[in-house]
Amino acid sequence: MPKLSFLQVVGIAAFLAFYGFAVFALTRDYYMRHPPRVAAVPASPHTSVQARPRPPGLTLDNDTGIPAAVAGTNAVLLSQQADDLFGQGRYAEAIPLYRRVLEISADDLDAHNDLGLALHYMGQGEEALAILAQGTAKGPEFQRIWLTYGFVQGQAGDKTSAAAALTRARDLGPDTSIGKEAARLLGLVQGAVPGAP
C-alpha cells in the first residue's frame, strides 16, 4: 500500500470537507426553496385550530408569537420556523412569523403565498385574498401564488376569478406539478361556473 505525503493527506481532507459542505449547501438550498407542505387540501377552512401553549420565556415580551430565538431580522430562520408550524397545521402560530418575514422582506413571494394560505385556513378569507393579491402583483410570473390565489377564490365562492387565476397558474407552466394541479382545479371550478363548457 503506497504511503501518502503530508500534502496529499491535506489535499484529501480538504476535498472531503469541500464535498461535505457542497452536499449540505445543495440540500439546504433545496429544502429552503421547496418547504414541506400540507399533504391534502381540506374542503373548508379550518376555523377551530388551537395553538399549542408555549412555555414562558420563549416568546417576546409583547407576545407576537415570534419565538425569541428567531425574533431578529433573519427572514430565512423566520420562514423556516413558520413553515414548520404550517406543516404541523399550527396556522395561528405561523401567521405572525410570516407577517414578520414580510416586514423584513416585503417582496418575499413564498411568504405572501404561505401567509395567504394560513389566513385562509384560519377562516380569514378577505385578508387572505388581499395578501395573495399583493403577492400576484409583486410576482406575476410566480406560478405557485396564482394556484393558491385561485384555490382561495374558489373556496370563497368567486368561481369566475378563481378560474382566471387558475388559468394563469396553468399557463405559466402546464407541465409542472403546479401547472397540472391548476389544470385539475380549473376543471372542477369550470364545472361549477354557470354556462361554462
- The model's pLDDT over 64-109, given as tens digits with 9 standing for 90+, comes to 454 555 455 788 898 899 999 999 999 999 999 999 999 998 999 9
127 — pLDDT class (breaks 50, 70, 90): very high
Model pLDDT, residue 119: 95
Report which of residues 91 and 37 the model is more confident about. 91
Q: Are 182 and 147 in contact (CB under 8 A)?
A: yes
| Per-residue pLDDT reduced to its tens digit, 157-182 | 999 999 999 999 999 999 999 999 99
45 — pLDDT class (breaks 50, 70, 90): very low
Q: Are 165 and 149 in contact (CB under 8 A)?
A: yes
Burial class (CB in 10 A: 0-12, 13-18, 19+), 81: buried
Model pLDDT, residue 191: 80
Model pLDDT, residue 180: 92
Model pLDDT, residue 196: 41
Distance, CA of 29 to CA of 22 (rounded, Å):
10
Statement: residue 59 has pLDDT above 60:
no
Q: Which helix (H) or strand (E) holds 146?
A: helix 143-155
Given the C-alpha cell 393558491, which residue does it identify?
Answer: 148
Rounded to 5 degrees, what are φ and ψ at 146? -70, -40
> Highest mean pLDDT range out of 21-25, 27-31, 33-37, 192-196?
21-25
Statement: residue 142 has pLDDT above 50:
yes
Tell me the CA distances in angstroms from 134 to 27, 62, 149, 176, 193, one per residue in order: 30, 27, 10, 24, 25
Rounded to 5 degrees, what are φ and ψ at 117? -70, -40
pTM, rounded to two decimals: 0.62
Model pLDDT, residue 32: 75
Rounded to 5 degrees, what are φ and ψ at 67? -60, 140
Dihedral (CA of 28, 24, 75, 79) sign: positive
> Mean pLDDT for the chain?
80
19 — pLDDT class (breaks 50, 70, 90): confident
Terminal-to-terminal C-alpha distance of the chain = 76
Choose among 61, 60, 63, 124: nearest CA to 91.
124
Tell me the CA distances in angstroms from 196 to 31, 60, 81, 186, one per residue in order: 39, 51, 42, 11
In order of start, what are the domains of the chain with their CATH numbers? 63-139 (1.25.40.10), 141-197 (no CATH)
